[in-house]
Amino acid sequence: MSVITYRQALRDTLRAEMVRDENVYVIGEEIGLFEGSYKITEGLLKEFGPKRVRDTPIAEEGFVGAAVGSAMLGLRPVVELMTINFSLLAIDQIINHAAKIYGMFGGQTSVPMVIRTPGGGGQQLGATHSQNIELFYSFIPGLKVMAPSTPAEASSMLRAAVRDDDPVLFLENLGLYNSKGEVPDDYAEPENDNVATIGRAGVAREGSDITLIGYSRMASVATQVAEKLAEEDISVEVVDLRSLRPLDRQTFVDSVKKTGSAVICEDDWLTYGIGAEITASIQEGAFDYLDAPVRRVAMAEVPMPYAKPLETAALPGVESISTAIKETLSAVGKRVG
């Protein structure tokens, strides 16, 4: 096994898929000469040339639309949107075209494209550049929405997204790019067939007292919470959703049946958030097993502040999640420190 950053896992896997399949190309703003705002496309222009590494104007609707058209004709575009906030400029192309073409035309053509885009707060980028608006897209049939939390997941899930015949929104939280983790030594080989199953969650850590559910950055934070509470003899089972559409309800419902209680942590706003759908699924699938109401920990219901202390206060973290877990366990009569 090798230890690498989340950023390197994405870059090396993207390159491997371009080597493996000549129909894969990348398109977006400043991804060629500048090598991308987050350096995921570093070195690709030099290796593959301008036909397969396409720098575009600042026109998200235009180049996402071009990618949709090229995917319909047999190519496999990987679009880089500088942030998920800018996807709002291309939302018609994503929702009304990429997601619907296969169904509207009776399966005569597919749209095998990936839209890679980072989001999330914590970087002091202000309210319009720090949003988690994946709910917009998770709501739409015809799209797949993936949210890896570790370098190993980033690699296997990007490989799955590129090879899939449906449009995939691939979420990369800004706070994860420099995080490190183990990956197989051959993760960057074009012949590697370690391809994730889209729509399958995973149990990142086994536990018995309570289920903690998260995705993307919050799945990573959830693991930190579990490690911290283990020192207080609280056994937390961590479920990493990995995919928001399709959503693997069975994995987290089975976990709640095992533990009897659940806390959901998410980087988006509480009202109408991803956690609401998870809570409803738990109520439907594990109601008779619940010892306490499902708790949710999410971002404050405000546009993201720029000032660092306020931004930190607005985001969920280890302390707020730990408090929710202890309060839930106390409510069901489990002794906590």
Residues marked as catalytic: 60, 129
User: What DSSP character marks residue 3?
Assistant: E
